[in-house]
Amino acid sequence: MRSIIAIVLSAAALASCTPESSSNADVTGSIDNCVRKLYSQYNPKDMKQCVAVCITCERGVMTTCSTACTLRGAQ
């Protein structure tokens, strides 16, 4: 019984992660415009630039932005 509940909860969690249901989707290109305003030569592999763009343009916080930038390959 517990395994069935775990499967149902997992399926519900995965269904909520689809791109169609994401309200954060950058449809208008506003993040790209924000990046261009901050850096004329943006390098996503530069940790300082990546974190600054994440915090400013994507409304992130230091912890999640540094983790996201690290996962994207910034150093």
Quick one: pLDDT at residue 21? 41
Residue 49 in tokens: 């630039």
Q: Tell me the per-residue pLDDT of 12-71, one tens digit each, with 9 for 90 and over.
A: 776 665 454 444 555 577 889 999 999 999 999 999 999 999 999 999 999 999 999 999
pLDDT, residue 15, reads: 64
pLDDT computed for residue 6 by the predictor: 78
Residue 3 three-state SS: helix
Residue 20 pLDDT: 46
